[in-house]
């Protein structure tokens, strides 16, 4: 099979992903083999490729926003049939037995494995996943339009929940890439007023098209203080800027798996019961809920497509904020 493999992390400008021919993976007990049709690009892929998020195994095939078709089933895999379309996200599996799994927090599982990090992902023609960690994809979405839902959508949705935003309140979104452009549609569905903070003029334009009530840069003042915020951009200096315009009792959710250092904070910036919290991975329940909601709203994913062999260039465009919405590899 064709695949783009990371053998050694390096700056994406050095094109560290290498095109190879690799054997097709065989599904094991309870697993399915998926013929990949589309795989979304994620900032987490970029952090893995550039070594900011150390890969526990090398070489590895990145990619964890996978949409494809079940081609083969391992022993005991009966949940899907050959030909069914499925989505494969970041959470590859969890142990089901540790204290976190036992309390419905499998996103924090001590033994969790993640697609494209611990196991080979979707920058390839085939991937293998447990049937319990694959999901039916809403029929109203094409393969490429559905791909961003599998991480950008899931994490954006979880971040909204952890921000404790409530219908009718005011929400701030910092950074406006793949995840934020989905999250804003969920927030607008909940009748929230959304302010978008981003440096990119093109991203501000897209935000307005998707219903933002105001757009500007992080250092600017929005029309009113915000009840909640989600910071998608991996930039620590955004934290004090978000706290600056957060109401008393407000919540800021940090949606990234990686962030540059957060500047030191005066206690007064978090006083009045303001909350600052991270968002770590996701659960299967998150995936089921956003995929259902995506079909109901319906969510519109803004995408730019690339061939598999263009993965290095596509990741560079992602790093430089030159992708409108979400980037997707097409196989």
CB distance 320 to 199 below 8 Å = no
Structure token pair of residue 309: 């062999």
Q: Taking a C-beta distance cutoff of 8 angstroms, is the pair 168, 192 a contact?
A: yes
Per-residue confidence in pLDDT tens, the chain, 331 aa:
999 999 999 999 999 999 999 999 999 999 999 999 999 999 999 999 999 999 999 999 999 999 999 999 999 999 999 999 999 999 999 999 999 999 999 999 999 999 999 999 999 999 999 999 999 999 999 999 999 999 999 999 999 999 999 999 999 999 999 999 999 999 999 999 999 999 999 999 999 999 999 999 999 999 999 999 999 999 999 999 999 999 999 999 999 999 999 999 999 999 999 999 999 999 999 999 999 999 999 999 999 999 999 999 999 999 999 999 999 999 9
The CATH number given to 154-278 is 3.40.50.720
What residues contact residue 320 under an 8 Å CB cut-off, 6+ apart?
none
Chain centroid offset of residue 304 CA: 16
Within this chain, domains 2-150+281-330 and 154-278 share the same CATH topology: no
Q: How far apart are CA 207 and CA 210, in angstroms?
A: 5
Distance CA 215, CA 205 (A): 8
Domain ranges of the chain: 2-150+281-330, 154-278
Among candidate residues 315, 319, 241, the one with its CA nearest the CA of residue 40: 315
Give the homologous superfamily in CATH for domain 2-150+281-330: Medium-chain alcohol dehydrogenases, catalytic domain (3.90.180.10)
Bridge partners (DSSP) listed for residue 22: none
């Amino acid at each position: 099979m064709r695949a783009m493999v990371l053998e050694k992390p390096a700056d994406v400008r050095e094109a560290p992903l290498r095109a190879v021919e690799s054997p097709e993976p065989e599904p094991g007990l309870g697993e399915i083999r998926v013929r990949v049709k589309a795989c979304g690009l994620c900032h987490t892929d970029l952090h893995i490729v550039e070594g900011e998020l150390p890969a526990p195994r090398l070489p590895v095939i990145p990619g964890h926003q996978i949409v494809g078709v079940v081609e083969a089933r391992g022993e005991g895999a009966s949940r899907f049939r050959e030909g069914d379309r499925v989505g494969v996200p970041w959470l590859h599996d969890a142990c089901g037995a540790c204290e976190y799994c036992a309390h419905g927090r499998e996103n924090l599982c001590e033994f969790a494995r993640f697609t494209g990090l611990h196991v080979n992902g979707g920058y390839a023609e085939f991937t293998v996943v447990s049937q319990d960690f694959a999901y039916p994809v809403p029929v109203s979405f094409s393969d490429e339009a559905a791909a961003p839902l599998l991480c950008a959508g899931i994490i954006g949705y979880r971040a909204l929940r952890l921000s404790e935003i409530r219908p009718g309140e005011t929400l701030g979104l910092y950074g406006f890439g793949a995840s934020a452009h989905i999250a804003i549609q969920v927030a607008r569905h909940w009748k929230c007023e959304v302010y978008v903070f981003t440096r990119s003029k093109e991203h501000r334009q897209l935000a307005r098209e998707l219903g933002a009530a105001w757009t500007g840069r992080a250092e600017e003042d929005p029309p009113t203080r915000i009840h909640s915020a989600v910071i998608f951009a991996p930039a620590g200096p955004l934290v004090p800027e978000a706290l600056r315009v957060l109401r008393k009792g407000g919540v800021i959710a940090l949606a990234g798996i990686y962030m540059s250092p957060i500047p030191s904070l005066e206690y007064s910036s978090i006083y009045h019961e303001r909350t600052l919290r991270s968002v770590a991975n996701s659960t299967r329940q998150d995936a089921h809920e956003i995929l259902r909601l995506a079909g109901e709203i319906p969510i519109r994913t803004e995408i730019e497509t690339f061939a598999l062999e263009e993965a290095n260039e596509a990741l560079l465009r992602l790093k430089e904020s030159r992708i409108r919405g979400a980037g997707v590899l097409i196989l």
